[in-house]
Amino acid sequence: MSTAETSRFVRLRVELVLEVGDAGAVAGAALGRIAGDSDLPAEERAHAESAVTEDTAEALAYLVDPFDLVKEVPGVELAQASWSSEEIDYDPDSPDWDLDEDDGHEDEDEDEEAAG
């Protein structure tokens, strides 16, 4: 396949499981980020402050920015990003958390190609 036939866009999926040892530190960092955002309207600021203080997952979502992950990668520009966070039950010994396991997306693409 030549370069002209390939897409310039790449979907990069990243899944992280973080262990939070100090929820107060995470919330404090998120509050600091909110305080430093001079463009944030007062109503949104109050909502964000409440959310990050009450929910560690919200605080992490406020602190982790996909742009930061790729901003120094040469030759790429972030076209679109979405992310979310949630508190989970995590068992590193469970086969459900095998990061090397195929996520099934390649099989779906192959099925669509075979059907098309």
Residue 5 located in a structural domain: no
**Domain tally for the chain?**
1
H or E element in which residue 72 lies? none
For 6, counting Cβ atoms within 10 Å of its Cβ (0-12 exposed, 13-18 middle, 19+ buried), the class is exposed
Q: What pLDDT is stored for residue 5 in this prediction?
A: 66
Strands annotated E in 1-116? none
**Percent of the chain that is helix, strand, coil (3-state, to 5):** 50, 0, 50
pLDDT tens-digit map of 53-102: 999 999 999 999 888 889 999 999 999 998 888 888 888 888 877 766 55
**Are residues 20 and 56 in contact, defined by beta-carbon separation less than 8 angstroms?**
yes
Residue 68 located in a structural domain: yes
* Rounded average pLDDT over 17-23: 94
Residue 80 located in a structural domain: yes
Residue 28 located in a structural domain: yes
Does the pTM of the predicted model rise above 0.75?
A: no
Residue 111 located in a structural domain: yes
* Rounded average pLDDT over 3-24: 86
Residue 14 located in a structural domain: no
Residue 8 located in a structural domain: no
Residue 23 located in a structural domain: yes
pLDDT tens-digit map of 89-99: 888 888 877 76
Q: Which domain holds residue 106?
A: 19-115
